[in-house]
Structure 1
Amino acid sequence: MKRWLASMFIAAIPAVASAEGVKMYTFDGSFEDATFAIENEIIGHGLVVDYVSHVGAMLSRTKDDVGGAKDLFDNADVFLFCSAVLSRKMMEVDPANIAFCPYGVFVTDTDSTVAIGYRLMPDGPMKEVEALLDEIARAAAGL
């Protein structure tokens, strides 16, 4: 019975369809509120936002130049940050884990559907980083 209840709880978590290797949660609010929530969660974890990449604005600005047929997002930003503790831990296991740093959490707004998500990490020690990303994304999404 407990397993069934747990599976029903997990099934009730709002998620949006996403690409393979990406986890996304719907956000009940505006894009601005979602970006504010993400930034607060990152800072609340004792981390610093190194850079905000305005991917949606770039894609909109360059659409005609590259022969784009449609607007992909109403808004889309990626928040880049690192954890000195986790990064050192992951790179001591394998220096090639530098490829995953900085970490990113994104916020998208497409047809009035706001989502928060992140890229899944490979199996092994990088799953600890993925757990941090999920914690930040879920908390920002109010889950």
Structure 2
Amino acid sequence: MHRLASACLTLLAFGGSALAQGVTTHPFDGSFEDATFAVESAIVDKGLVIDYRSHVGAMLNRTGADVGSAVTIYDNADVFLFCSAVLSRKVMEADPLNMAHCPYGIFVTDREGQVSIGYRHLPEGAMQEVQALLDTIAREASRE
């Protein structure tokens, strides 16, 4: 889980543009709270269960001084982690090492009032079906 959190932090740090560093983001016209509600709803509406909601922004803000930094990276940032039994089985039957990409994540960030919803890119092949699901969820939540 620690490696996943580190990967999420790296991805969130580069999530400011629409397509950068293997990450796609969509702007959200509304508050961080409304965006997180929209993401949660979009995931649940697909019949999926959220395994964990990581409060990355709160952790960064809480620990900044402890690591010698006064920089506020995000006003808020959360990552929603979830799996799909159907897709996970399909992609892992294609290649058992696709387990490395599970659980799947959608993140919401707020930087100086600019709220975004995004996800990291997954490898070519079977994982593109999961990436399509992530894109659908992010677009539905961002109202695109």
1:19 shift after superposition = 3.6
**What is the TM-score normalised by the length of structure 1?**
0.88
Question: Given residue 65 of structure 2, which amino acid in structure 1 is its aligned partner?
Answer: D
Return the alpha-carbon distance in structure 2 between the equivalents of residues 84 and 34 of structure 1. 25
**What is the TM-score normalised by the length of structure 2?**
0.87
Return the alpha-carbon distance in structure 2 between the equivalents of residues 58 and 16 of structure 1. 19
Residues 16, 26 of structure 1: 8 Å contact kept: no
User: 1:78-132: CA deviations, max 9, x gaps?
Assistant: 0000000000000001110000000000000001000000000011110000000
Question: Given residue 84 of structure 1, which amino acid in structure 2 is its aligned partner?
Answer: A
Return the alpha-carbon distance in structure 1 between the equivalents of residues 38 and 51 of structure 2. 16
- Residue in 2 aligned with 1:100? 101
1:73 shift after superposition = 0.2
- Residue in 2 aligned with 1:42? 43
Question: Given residue 26 of structure 2, which amino acid in structure 1 is its aligned partner?
Answer: Y
- Residue in 1 aligned with 2:7? none
Change (3 A) 1:19 1:65: farther
Look up the SS of the partner of 2:71 in the other structure.
Answer: coil
Larger Rg: 1
- Residue in 1 aligned with 2:62? 61
Return the alpha-carbon distance in structure 2 between the equivalents of residues 25 and 51 of structure 1. 22
- Residue in 2 aligned with 1:6? none
Identity %: 64
Structure 2 unpaired stretches of 5+ = 1-14
Look up the SS of the partner of 1:65 in the other structure.
Answer: helix
Return the alpha-carbon distance in structure 2 between the equivalents of residues 93 and 45 of structure 1. 23
The equivalences for 1:22-41 within 5 A come to 22-41=23-42
Q: CA RMSD in A?
A: 1.2
- Residue in 2 aligned with 1:124? 125
1:16 shift after superposition = 5.1
Return the alpha-carbon distance in structure 2 between the equivalents of residues 134 and 67 of structure 1. 36
1:69 shift after superposition = 3.5
Structure 1 unpaired stretches of 5+ = 1-14
| Misfit runs of 4+, over 3 Å | none
Aligned residues: 129
